[in-house]
Amino acid sequence: MSQTVKGVVALSKGAPVEVVDIVIPDPGPYEVVVNIQACGVCHTDLHYRQGAIVDEFPFLLGHEAAGIVESIGNQVSQVKPGDYVVLNWRAVCGTCRACAKGQPWYCFNTHNAEQKMTLTDGTALSAALGIGAFSDKTLVHEGQCTKVDPQASPVSACLLGCGVMAGFGAAVNTAGVKRGDSVAVIGCGGVGNAAIAGAKIAGATKIIAVDIDAKKLDWAKKFGATHFINSSNQDPVETIRELTAGFGADVVIDAVGSPQTYKQAFYARDLAGVVVLVGVPNPDYKIELPLIDIFGRGGALKSSWYGDCLPARDFPMLVDLYNQGRFNLGDFVSEVIGINDVEAAFEKMEKGQVLRSVVQL
Ligand SMILES: NC(=O)c1ccc[n+]([C@@H]2O[C@H](COP(=O)([O-])OP(=O)(O)OC[C@H]3O[C@@H](n4cnc5c(N)ncnc54)[C@H](O)[C@@H]3O)[C@@H](O)[C@H]2O)c1
Ligand SMILES: [Zn+2]
Ligand SMILES: [Zn+2]
């Protein structure tokens, strides 16, 4: 028996989201229905609703979620009803060429539910990042459920499902920040601050926060930033060089994803340093750089999807750090809101008023 519940849907490009009835099928063989308890509002949800990712409307938004497994398909072996899980968008297949090479964080064939959730008229919904969790319940593949310690509150733990994991992993996994490194992070939203927190835990000694909004720089301090640049009135490249004996930072993380910030990241890193692009660019953005600089400056230009994380390895580790008071996930939560408040949360995000709004369900 399918179930009808409330969900936040983007029906057409650019239109405000609406709370509508959605139909959740019974779980197929490897599928799981999860009772969502909390789901963070990520900038990527806004990208979806603006049509900046793919054009497969209508979308069921929300992809940063924690909840309790309600029911499972007859082949499910990894979770059981009652398990407390954080949902992930990297259920690795184990057999694609990346997995076969021992690099499952690049998995090219990640699992999602096979069945579609629908509107009540039968129109198939595209679930944001294969999750769709601004809803009372959602349908996912069993591999998308990562069990974590139930002591961690869902309002905080849900953030591991996307933005916080992406930022933390961009620093720790993709850049491989080491003890003593200098790290600059451009764009101090949820993702950028998680990169700052990751750099701190990895032992970076100089952590430079860059944003165009003074309030964001203030917040970045809580996560471990040691130096601050307001790039609306200071040249970030020059200032990062000044702060690093004229050389540039070992690692620069672009958590905005614009041609302007990417160029800043490119020139603000030391020779042989690492640039990590974790912000998601709009599809029409282009960049021009002298090829001789790309060659001559050496090092690595990397992008970071989901912080190159492995959910089964990284979520429980971060939950342990959180429970031990060593990684304060709660500091990312600016407000707890209801299912009707997602559009307002997008506005607050665009105005820079929040780090993360979290929908409690
Ligand atoms: N790679 C991934 O797997 C992944 C995962 C989640 C989110 N993201 C992306 O990361 C980006 C950040 O997400 P978020 O949720 O932190 O967004 P956010 O809106 O909370 O934060 C963005 C921050 O960038 C700042 N900013 C904007 N323009 C800037 C500029 N020119 N220079 C300096 N700072 C600037 C804003 O003031 C804000 O503080 C988005 O593009 C999002 O889609 C990527
Ligand atoms: Zn794979
Ligand atoms: Zn996200």
Report whether pLDDT(21) > 90: yes
The pLDDT tens digits of the residues spanning 193-203 come to 999 999 999 99
The arithmetic mean of pLDDT across residues 198-212, rounded, is 98
- Say which amino acid occupies 234: Q
Q: What is the distance between the alpha carbons of residues 17 and 208, in angstroms, rounded to a whole number? A: 36
In 3D space, the residue among 153, 184, 163 whose CA is nearest the CA of residue 66 turns out to be 153
Domains of the chain, start order = 3-161+328-360 (3.90.180.10), 167-304 (3.40.50.720)
Ligand 1, atom nearest to 190 Cα: 16
Cα 295 to averaged position of ligand 3 atoms, centre (Å):
32
- Position 313 pLDDT exceeds 90: yes
> Is any atom of ligand 1 closer than 6 Å to the C-beta of 90?
no
- pLDDT value at position 38? 98
Q: Does residue 190 line the site of ligand 1, with CB under 6 A?
A: yes
What are the backbone dihedrals phi and psi of residue 232, each rounded to the nearest 5 degrees, phi first?
-80, -20
Give the whole-angstrom CA distance, residue 112 versus residue 356: 25
> What is the pLDDT, as a whole number, of residue 293?
97
Within 13 Å of residue 12, how many CA atoms lie on the same side as its CB?
1
Reported pTM? 0.96
Q: From residue 82, how far is each of 35, 60, 148, 307 by CA, in Å?
A: 10, 24, 12, 29
Residue 42 tokens read as 């990520």
- Residue 87's φ and ψ, nearest 5 degrees, are -80, 145
The atom number, within ligand 1, closest to the CA of 304 reads 1
> Where is pLDDT greater, at 195 or 283?
195
DSSP 171: I
Pocket test for ligand 1, best of 49, 63, 256, 351 (most atoms within 8 A of CB): 256
Report the mean per-residue pLDDT for the chain: 97
Predicted pLDDT of residue 303: 98
Per the listing, tokens 């540039």 go with: 248
* Residue type at position 232: S
58 lines ligand 1 (CB under 6 A): no
Reported confidence tier of residue 235, pLDDT bands at 50, 70, 90: very high
Evaluate: CB of 174 within 6 angstroms of ligand 1: no
The secondary structure of 285-345 as a DSSP string is ------HHHHHHT-SEEEE-SGGG--HHHHHHHHHHHHHTTSS-GGGGEEEEE-GGGHHHH
Amino acid at 342: V
Question: At 222, is the pLDDT very low, low, confident or very high (cuts 50, 70, 90)?
Answer: very high
From the CB of 280, is ligand 1 less than 6 Å away? Answer: yes
pLDDT confidence bin for 1, thresholds 50/70/90: confident
Q: Three-state DSSP class for 60?
A: strand
Q: Is the model's pLDDT at 111 over the cut of 90? A: yes
Cβ–ligand 1 distance for 231 under 6 Å, the answer yes
Work out the percent of the chain whose per-residue pLDDT is above 70: 100
Q: What's the CA-to-centroid distance between 353 and ligand 1, angstroms?
A: 13
Residue 142 near residue 78 (C-beta atoms within 8 A): yes
Instruction: Using alpha carbons only, give the angle 324, 325, 327 rounded to the nearest 5 degrees.
Output: 105
Classify each residue of 294-329 as buried b or exposed e, where b means 16 or more C-beta atoms within 10 Å of its C-beta. Answer: eeebebebbbbbbbbbbbbebbbebbebbeeeebeb
Tell the residue number behind the tokens 């994991």, with chain if given. Answer: 165
Smallest CA separation from ligand 1 atom 22, residue: 189
